[in-house]
């Protein structure tokens, strides 16, 4: 029997920043700014660009989320893992498998396969189960820092032990389901502003409950990603994880501050500090806005075309791509996609030359096609991200 010490769910109130908070109007302004900028960015991208970009963002989101946990698996290695191309080094291979698991879970979210809302206990458990069941056994344990005991992590299983995270002692294991139920009820909110603000507040409160022995950070970030995807219809085109990882120290300081108790009569009416929760929500929302602006700047059609075509010209000069490859890329960039049969007329060459150019661009990963007869579309391979979309993630010598 898992022990429940009978803690009141009031222990992690407030779950939202109240309407009466002096900073609430400012948070509402940030929510509306995020909604407007996210919608503008989404509508600016044609489907032919949005679909391959979402694939790359999955790898980016995975990279940064794992980086926060101290696991550095570059998106180039993540892409290799997606092709079952693993490192001979067992440690690197395990991290590739971990990354592949993360990408698989985000793809599951992106395909609208989550039956219940992201904050539902069943959804939170399913996120953990789907992530952990794909991990190698070497990563499915936690070590007790005091005794050195290695404790197995069971995919999708709520913890059965007491845990301490930093200075925060989480609720008793038997109380976890009650606290998750309270969270879900508190975050099942109507309207335009509340559901977006809830993505920030729920992020900390899930970590405060600490429902699993391990994997809580990734589950919290995936939950927030799913909440934002649903409320803002992001289409997976940007991710808060990059911003959180780039300000990791501040992110963790905010989370620790949110664990703190109420700071006097003017700090809300709950047990925990409303001011700290409001400060974290502000930090979280500003990071979201920054990430939308960053992606929108990267994907400006004129600049994106210029960067890709300059890259193609350099590859042609180096002999890595056939002559006139840039002409095909230019056509795809302007039209969104082209039929394979169009390449010959676009180039004004023989069918053989057209096939050679097409094959080279597909082999290089610059273009993609779901079959030998399907249209040619732009791809965003991680190995070219440093040139095509500088700053998306750190460059790495291949």
pLDDT for the residue numbered 394: 84
Average confidence (pLDDT) over 158-165: 93
Q: Do 251 and 368 fall within a single domain?
A: no
Which residue among 281, 298, 315 closes a domain?
A: 298
Contacts of residue 352, defined as CB under 8 A and 6 or more positions apart, other chains included, come to none
Residue 280 lies in domain: 28-298
Cα–Cα nearest to 394, from 217, 242, 218: 242
| Torsion angle, alpha carbons of 214, 218, 222, 225, to 10 | 150
Q: What is the pLDDT of residues 251-267, one digit of tens each?
A: 999 999 999 999 988 88
* 177 and 47 part of one domain: yes
Across the chain, what does the average pLDDT equal? 94
Same domain, 52 and 186: yes
> Is residue 211 domain-shared with residue 266, that is, in the same domain?
yes
Number of domains in the chain: 2
Residue with tokens 């610059």: 366
Residues 222 and 321 in one domain: no
- The residue among 298, 333, 359 that closes a domain is 298
| CATH number of the domain encompassing residue 316 | 1.10.10.10
Same domain, 58 and 199: yes
With respect to residue 368, please indicate whether it lies within any of the assigned structural domains. yes
Residue 302's pLDDT band, with cuts at 50, 70 and 90, is confident
Q: Both 286 and 377 in a single domain?
A: no
pLDDT digits (tens, 9 = 90+) for 185-209: 999 998 889 999 999 999 999 999 9
282 and 305 within one domain:
no
Residue 35 belongs to domain with CATH number: 1.10.3290.10
Q: Considering the domain boundaries, does residue 6 fall inside one?
A: no
**Distance between CA atoms of residues 22 and 159, nearest Å:** 37
- Same domain? For 275 and 314 the reply is no
pTM: 0.94
User: 250 and 321 share a domain?
Assistant: no
pLDDT for position 397: 54
Among candidate residues 298, 330, 354, the one where a domain is terminated: 298
Q: What is the pLDDT of residue 1?
A: 82
**pLDDT by residue (tens digit) across 42-98?**
999 988 889 899 999 999 999 999 999 999 999 999 999 999 999 999 999 999 999
**21 domain-assigned:** no
Does residue 292 have a cis bond before it (omega within 30 degrees)?
Answer: no
pLDDT higher at 268 or 375: 375
* 2-9 CB contacts, 8 Å cutoff, 24+ apart: 2/160, 2/173, 2/174, 3/172, 3/173, 3/174, 4/172, 4/173, 4/174, 4/175, 4/178, 5/171, 5/172, 5/174, 5/175, 6/175, 7/171, 7/172, 7/175, 9/178, 9/179, 9/182
pLDDT value at position 396? 67
Q: Give the per-residue pLDDT at 343.
A: 94
Q: Indicate if 270 and 362 belong to the same structural domain.
A: no
Tens of pLDDT, residues 318-360: 999 999 999 999 999 999 899 999 999 999 999 999 999 999 9
Query: Does the residue 71 lie in any domain?
Result: yes
pLDDT of residue 350: 92
Please tell me whether residues 257 and 278 are part of one structural domain: yes
* pLDDT-based confidence at residue 366 (cuts at 50, 70, 90): very high
């Amino acid at each position: 029997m898992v022990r429940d010490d009978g803690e009141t769910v009031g222990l992690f109130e407030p779950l939202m920043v109240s309407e009466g908070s002096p900073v609430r109007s400012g948070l509402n302004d940030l929510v509306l700014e995020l909604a407007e900028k996210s919608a503008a960015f989404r509508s600016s991208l044609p489907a032919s660009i949005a679909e391959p970009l979402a694939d790359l963002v999955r790898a980016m989101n995975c990279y940064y989320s794992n980086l926060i946990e101290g696991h550095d698996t570059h998106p180039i290695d993540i892409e290799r893992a997606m092709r079952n191309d693993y490192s001979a080094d067992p440690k690197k291979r395990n991290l590739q498998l971990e990354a592949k698991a993360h990408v698989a879970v985000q793809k599951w979210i992106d395909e609208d396969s989550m039956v219940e809302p992201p904050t539902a206990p069943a959804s939170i458990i399913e996120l953990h189960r789907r992530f952990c069941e794909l991990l190698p056994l070497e990563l499915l344990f936690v070590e007790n820092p005091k005794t050195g005991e290695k404790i197995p992590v069971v995919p999708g299983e709520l913890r059965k032990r007491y845990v301490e995270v930093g200075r925060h002692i989480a609720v008793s294991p038997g109380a976890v389901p009650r606290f998750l139920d309270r969270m879900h009820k508190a975050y099942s909110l109507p309207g335009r502003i509340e559901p977006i603000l809830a993505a920030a507040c729920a992020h900390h409160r899930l970590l405060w409950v600490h429902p699993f022995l391990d994997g809580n950070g990734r589950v919290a970030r995936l939950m927030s990603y799913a909440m934002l995807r649903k409320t803002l219809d992001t289409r997976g085109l940007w991710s808060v994880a990059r911003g959180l990882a780039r300000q990791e120290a501040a992110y963790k300081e905010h989370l620790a501050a949110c664990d703190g108790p109420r700071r006097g009569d003017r700090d809300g009416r709950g047990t925990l500090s409303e001011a700290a929760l409001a400060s974290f929500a502000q930090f979280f929302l500003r990071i979201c806005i920054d990430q939308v602006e960053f992606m929108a700047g990267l994907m400006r059609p004129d600049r994106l075309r210029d960067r890709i075509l300059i890259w193609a010209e350099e590859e042609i000069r180096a002999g890595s791509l056939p002559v006139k490859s840039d002409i095909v890329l230019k056509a795809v960039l302007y039209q969104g996609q082209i039929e394979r049969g169009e390449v010959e007329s676009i180039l004004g060459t023989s069918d053989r030359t057209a096939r050679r150019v097409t094959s080279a661009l597909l082999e290089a990963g610059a273009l993609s096609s779901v079959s030998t007869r399907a249209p040619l579309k732009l791809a965003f391979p991680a190995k070219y991200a440093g040139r095509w979309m500088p700053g998306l993630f750190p460059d790495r010598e291949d």
